[in-house]
Amino acid sequence: MSDNPYLLPDKAYKALKWIALVVLPAIGLAYNGLASVWGLPYGSQVLETTAVVEGLIGALIGVSAIKAAINK
């Protein structure tokens, strides 16, 4: 049996966590801000889409953490 009790491999967990907590919010906020300044299309839609994807990744990470807690 593996030393990792999580559903996701450690590298995938860390990468997804970083993407959900840093990358997606930064992209969404940057695009939304630039859209209002430069008149780019779909600023709020891009921001809302990144928020939904962040939630999805958070749910996947949460399921992995629950699995690890159950297996202890």
Query: pLDDT tens, 7-44?
Result: 788 898 899 999 999 999 999 999 999 999 999 999 99
Assessment of whether the complete model's pTM goes beyond 0.85: no
pLDDT reported for residue 32: 97
pLDDT at 41: 98
pLDDT at 48 over 80: yes
User: Do 14 and 58 form a contact (C-beta atoms < 8 A)?
Assistant: no
